[in-house]
């Protein structure tokens, strides 16, 4: 029986997917699997028996990925599971920015004691008048699961949509409306679009990508939206752009002292994926990924190891080996079995950067001695007997 520990409250809909072969434990030291949302794991002592961490969400900057990789711990996330919830809030953010809905609502609250509020509103409403989305140009930086949904929804609203993503996947391309203009230079987004929304992961190459230089290239009166990660945007530069009129509105889902309460900033308390449906979808996907890995060794949607799938093992045994992505590893693995007269019926090796993952199905159950020999090979992080 596999023991699972939840570092955060996880949707019951997801936990109900666990079969009788799984038990929830309050003791993280006993866990073979961890389910997590936002809790930071960087200071955690990772148990030796921990096999997998599944993040019920997309971002994984709360998890020590390299440390997990070196211990042979697979880290999963759930790309696309919360995409619709984020998409809907992005559309709401565009509407809030295009028309001063927030200002209008605040005026109504402040005028609640005015007996002639309806009459006064007719005079005051021009202060909150804005523009429509139809016919405006929307630039989307990052055409992943969320970016594609935003693009298609914006097309339905009559917007002219431009998308930039040098790593556009085949699946995303198939899902993207054919009328979206795929540009090859992000500067085309900056110079042409009335609205710009960013949907890329936070990496060294993307950190602070919306900065003074990028803002200078944008159209006057641009509306910026950030529902991805706060550090993608140098918000001090955004405040300067708001003051000098370069930026009309900045909509962010990440409250912090820099933007909270600042004129021209619409800051939402990180509600992008905070819907019942998104939390349920993320939990179900995280549980499914973890179960498939623990039971079959299958890796799908990992952020620190390559995807690898050999289906359900029908042979006597299956071994999973986590190791450095260096030459001569496979030769050493197969020699351990060959020298003991064990036939390999199926094998798959996948790599990702400096690490690799090898699954081997054998016709005879491997002995403890073979496992020890595999573990002793230089460059091997972990050997796991799946079956």
CA atoms within 13 A on the CB side of 306: 20
pLDDT in tens, the chain (387 residues): 999 999 999 999 999 999 999 999 999 999 999 999 989 999 999 999 999 999 998 889 899 999 999 999 999 999 999 999 999 999 999 999 999 999 999 999 999 999 999 999 999 999 999 999 999 999 999 999 999 999 999 999 999 999 999 888 877 888 898 899 999 999 999 999 999 999 998 889 999 999 999 999 999 999 999 999 999 999 999 999 999 999 999 999 999 999 999 999 999 999 998 899 999 999 999 999 999 999 999 999 999 999 999 999 999 999 999 999 999 999 999 999 999 999 999 999 999 999 999 999 999 999 999 999 999 999 999 999 999
All CATH 3.30.70.260 domain ranges in the chain, comma separated: 306-387
What does the DSSP assignment read for 269-306? -S-TT-SHHHHHHHHHHHHHHHHHHHHH--B-SBSSS-
What does the DSSP assignment read for 302-325? BSSS--B---S--SSEEEEEEEES
Distance CA 115, CA 109 (A): 13
The CATH architecture of the domain made up of 1-82+274-305 is 3-Layer(aba) Sandwich (3.40)
Q: What is the pTM of this model?
A: 0.82
All CATH 3.40.50.720 domain ranges in the chain, comma separated: 1-82+274-305, 83-98+130-267
DSSP code, position 123? H
Beta strands in 144-264, from DSSP E residues, in sequence order: 160-164, 181-183, 195-198, 222-226, 247-252
CATH superfamily of 83-98+130-267: NAD(P)-binding Rossmann-like Domain (3.40.50.720)
Distance CA 173, CA 152 (A): 12
Q: Are 265 and 236 in contact (CB under 8 A)?
A: no
Q: Using alpha carbons only, what angle is made at residue 186 by residues 182 and 192, rounded to the nearest 5 degrees?
A: 80
CATH of domain 306-387: 3.30.70.260
Buried b (16+ CB within 10 A) or exposed e, 127-146: ebebeebeebbbbbbbbbbb
């Amino acid at each position: 029986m596999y023991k699972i520990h939840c570092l955060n409250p996880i949707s019951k809909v997801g936990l109900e997917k666990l079969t009788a072969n799984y038990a929830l434990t309050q003791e993280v030291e006993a866990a073979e699997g961890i389910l997590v949302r936002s809790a930071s794991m960087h200071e955690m002592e990772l148990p030796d028996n921990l096999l997998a961490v599944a993040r019920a969400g997309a971002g994984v900057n709360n998890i020590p990925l390299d440390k997990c990789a070196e211990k042979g711990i697979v880290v999963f996330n759930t790309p696309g599971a919360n995409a619709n919830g984020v998409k809907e809030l992005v559309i709401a953010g565009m509407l809030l920015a295009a028309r001063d809905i927030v200002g209008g609502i605040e005026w109504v609250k402040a005028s609640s004691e005015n007996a002639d509020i309806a009459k006064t509103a007719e005079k005051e409403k021009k202060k909150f008048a804005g523009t429509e989305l139809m016919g405006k140009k929307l630039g989307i930086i990052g055409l992943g699961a969320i970016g594609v949904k935003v693009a298609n929804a914006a097309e339905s609203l009559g917007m002219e949509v431009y998308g930039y993503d040098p790593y556009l996947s085949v699946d995303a391309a198939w899902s993207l409306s054919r009328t979206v203009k795929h540009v090859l230079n992000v500067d085309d987004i900056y110079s042409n679009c009335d609205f710009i929304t960013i949907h890329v992961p936070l990496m060294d190459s993307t950190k602070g990508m919306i900065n003074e230089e990028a803002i200078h290239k944008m159209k006057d009166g641009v509306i910026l939206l950030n529902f991805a990660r706060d550090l993608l945007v140098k918000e001090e530069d955004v405040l300067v752009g708001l003051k000098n009129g370069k930026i009309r509105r900045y909509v962010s889902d990440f409250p912090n002292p820099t933007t909270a309460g600042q004129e021209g900033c619409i800051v939402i308390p990180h509600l992008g994926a905070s819907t019942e449906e998104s939390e349920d979808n993320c939990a179900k996907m995280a549980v499914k990924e973890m179960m498939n890995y623990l039971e079959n060794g299958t890796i799908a949607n990992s952020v620190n190891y390559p995807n690898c799938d050999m289906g359900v093992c029908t042979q006597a045994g299956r071994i999973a080996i986590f190791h450095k992505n260096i030459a001569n590893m496979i030769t050493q693995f197969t020699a351990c079995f060959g020298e003991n007269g064990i036939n390999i019926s199926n094998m798959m090796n996948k790599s990702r950067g400096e690490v690799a993952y090898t699954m081997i199905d054998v016709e005879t159950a491997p002995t403890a001695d073979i496992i020890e020999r595999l573990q002793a090979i230089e460059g091997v992080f972990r050997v796991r007997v799946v079956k």
